[in-house]
Amino acid sequence: MTHDDSPEVLLAPERRTIDVVPDDERHGTPRSQFTLWFGANMQITAVVDGALAVVFGADALWAILGLLIGNVLGGTVMALHAAQGPRMGLPQMISSRAQFGIKGAVVPLVLVILMYLGFAATGTVLAGQAVNAALGIDNPTVGIVVFGLLTAFVAIAGYRLIHIVGRVATVVGVIGFTYLAVRLFAEYDVAAAVGVKGFDIVTFLLAISLGAGWQLTFGPYVADYSRYLPRETSERTTFWSTFLGSVIGSQWSMTFGALVAAVAGDAFLGNQVGFLGELAGPAAIAFLVYLVIVVGKLTVNVLNAYGGFMSILTTVTAFDGRSQISTRARTLYILGFIFVSMFIAIAASADFLDNFKNFVLMLLMVFTPWSAINLIDYYLVSKERIDIPALYDGNGRYGDWNVPALACYVVGVVAQIPFLAQKMYTGPVTEWLGGADISWIVGIVLTAAIYYPVAKRTANPPTAMIYPAQTAMVDSRTRPRADDAGHGDPRFDQV
């Protein structure tokens, strides 16, 4: 065990929040991204997400194919966000200030916080059921509180322990879900339940949307977990490690979920956790399966809590100019977030499947325009050149509000309304398409099409990446230009 892996280091609260990670604190390899995202996706909520495509009418075979297409498409966007982490050393949503302005970034941030709370609450419902089943307790509040305390412990310890939990979840998930798949084929005639329905474009597009939505909603926090990698880490390697971990893990879980829904129907829908426990067989093995569910949910729930507090902090500091907070304040932010998510979980556990489907699809409407703007700016307009000190200064290069970018974002959201297929509202175009929801495609394509020409005229990127002086490192790929803003200023360096 190295000093960095000692219990004292792993359990000590993380110091970094929304500030840049200095080079002397960078560590790890892209392989850690694979295990983190694989482990975070080998969990019961992904199983439920895969089951939804079958629940709402798709044949399991077409559902699995649609989910795969969605995971690949959404995973590509998600992994492009992850590749930004080593280069900038920043949490994902801080970088949005380069597109929307210091205060303007609060607009998508509020929606991000709601996303974290929604996923944390819905995940806690299922994890709480697994805790109760393992402990033999009937009171659902007990399981939710126990799971909430576990989440708080890991999230407060932070980055290093989160990656350890991800590695554990990877091993546990592979063993647990492989065993459950074997049991499923042993107990049910799975082959007879697959390929029994013809192709239906509406349910096929729903499956694609469920897979894509699952991946795209990781976008606002994926770089939070790659930002500690050494700055010279290859973007391509970071991309593929994250992409493969997330897509393989989620597709594995969702495929299992689609098959379970196809053969079990109402037996699974009414009690997802209980069904998996019964599928496991003997009580001792069922107990282990409940632990598999808890470990998998713990990984992703910690990501929600960790990203949630940093999004709240990014919102608050947009108005007071801070880039750092005390360890005590960081702990209070995390505890506050987890308390709210537990309250939601306790109050809103009914009609879980239907609510979750609508929640995931609604998130697509607000996050696809954000992803399009962030990626277009970073890779095509700014071309990986960000003035990092200006991200904390409303009087700097990016200002408080970037009205053109915000306008493009709003247009990208509003334009999707006619294409929505939601419980509360179905758009006229969706009705014409027979109920197929393609709003997320409209959100990405339209937003990219209108934002790119606007950003090319209005953006003011530096000629090279600008880092705070204490984190600077020579990078032979870019050279500063003498007349670029900040040249010679001891507060920051360009590379």
The answer, yes or no, to whether residue 344 has pLDDT greater than 90, is no
Is the CA virtual torsion 7, 11, 15, 17 positive or negative?
positive
DSSP state, residue 325 = -
Query: How many Å apart are CA 39 and CA 300, to the nearest integer?
Result: 8
Query: How many Å apart are CA 396 and CA 306, to the nearest integer?
Result: 28
In the block, residue with structure tokens 């990626």 = 375
Q: Measured in whole angstroms, how far is the alpha carbon of residue 238 from the centre of its chain?
A: 16
pLDDT band for position 401 (cuts 50, 70, 90):
very high
The residue among 174, 164, 114 whose CA lies nearest residue 298 is: 164
Query: How many Å apart are CA 49 and CA 197, to the nearest integer?
Result: 20
Query: How many Å apart are CA 80 and CA 465, to the nearest integer?
Result: 18
In the block, residue with structure tokens 């758009």 = 427
Question: What residue segments make up the domains of the chain, in order of their start?
Answer: 22-467
Most confident among 115-119, 313-317, 321-325 (mean pLDDT):
313-317
The answer, yes or no, to whether residue 150 has pLDDT greater than 60, is yes
Q: Measured in whole angstroms, how far is the alpha carbon of residue 469 from the centre of its chain?
A: 31
- Residue 105's pLDDT is what? 92
Query: How many Å apart are CA 342 and CA 339, to the nearest integer?
Result: 5
Q: Taking residues 261-276, what's their average pLDDT? A: 86
pLDDT band for position 353 (cuts 50, 70, 90):
low
The answer, yes or no, to whether residue 455 has pLDDT greater than 90, is yes
Is the CA virtual torsion 287, 293, 297, 298 positive or negative?
positive
- pLDDT per residue as tens digits for the range 180-193: 999 999 999 999 99
Is the CA virtual torsion 293, 298, 304, 307 positive or negative?
negative
Query: How many Å apart are CA 455 and CA 459, to the nearest integer?
Result: 5
> What number of H helices and E strands is found in the chain?
20, 2
Query: How many Å apart are CA 419 and CA 465, to the nearest integer?
Result: 39
Give me the percent of the chain exceeding a pLDDT of 90.
45
Most confident among 108-122, 316-330, 346-360, 401-415 (mean pLDDT):
401-415
CB atoms within 10 A of CB 174: 16
Q: Taking residues 341-345, what's their average pLDDT? A: 87
Bridge partners of 45, per DSSP, are none
Give me the percent of the chain exceeding a pLDDT of 70.
88
Is the CA virtual torsion 375, 235, 14, 123 positive or negative?
positive
Provide the CATH number for the domain formed by 22-467 in this structure: 1.10.4160.10
Between 244-253, 328-337, 484-493, the lowest mean confidence (pLDDT) is in: 484-493
Query: How many Å apart are CA 348 and CA 355, to the nearest integer?
Result: 9
Residues contacting 78, CB < 8 A, separation 6+: 215, 216, 218, 219, 222, 242, 243, 246
Residue ranges of alpha helices (H) inside 321-462 are 327-347, 352-375, 403-414, 428-432, 439-458
Most confident among 66-70, 207-211, 272-276, 320-324 (mean pLDDT):
66-70
User: Which helix (H) or strand (E) segment is 181 a member of?
Assistant: helix 159-187
In the block, residue with structure tokens 């297409």 = 69
- What the block records as the tokens of 73 is 């498409």
DSSP state, residue 14 = P
Mean pLDDT of the chain: 85
Q: Taking residues 338-364, what's their average pLDDT? A: 72
**Residue 105 Ramachandran class (φ > 0 left, ψ -120 to 50 alpha, else beta):** alpha
SS3 content of the chain, % helix, strand, coil (to 5): 70, 0, 25
